[in-house]
Amino acid sequence: MEFIKELWRGNVKLVITFWIVSFIGNALFATLGGFLEGIGFYDQFTNKKQFIILSFSIIFILFYFFTLVCVWKSSSKYTGRTLWATLAKIYVVIGAFKTITATVEVF
């Protein structure tokens, strides 16, 4: 739990926050979603499946925005080359815009 607090505060190194938590973490969520689609989980909807899909989607979106905030805060505290901090913030802005747009289209 302490790691999550430090992550949220931006106290975890940018390289770890960006590549491990954000990039790999979100890739795992996306892979799981793709796997569920590949096995036909989304083909027939039942009340139970709708609840699972909605829960998974909400958790994925919350995790994604959590990681975007963490990357932003970590890049703000980054003391290395400003290029990396700037690129990380550009990633956050584009990612947030893309996700908000996609979410609005779905709902």
Tell me what pLDDT residue 47 has: 85
Tell me what pLDDT residue 32 has: 94
Tell me what pLDDT residue 5 has: 97
- pLDDT, tens digit (0-9, with 9 covering 90-100), for 5-54: 999 999 999 999 999 999 999 999 999 999 998 998 888 888 888 898 88
Contact 70, 61 (CB under 8 A): no
- pLDDT, tens digit (0-9, with 9 covering 90-100), for 73-102: 999 999 999 999 999 999 999 999 998 898
Give 78's DSSP letter: -
Total-model pTM: 0.88
| Structural domain spans, the chain | 2-106
Contact 98, 35 (CB under 8 A): no
On the question of pLDDT at 57 being above 90, the answer is no
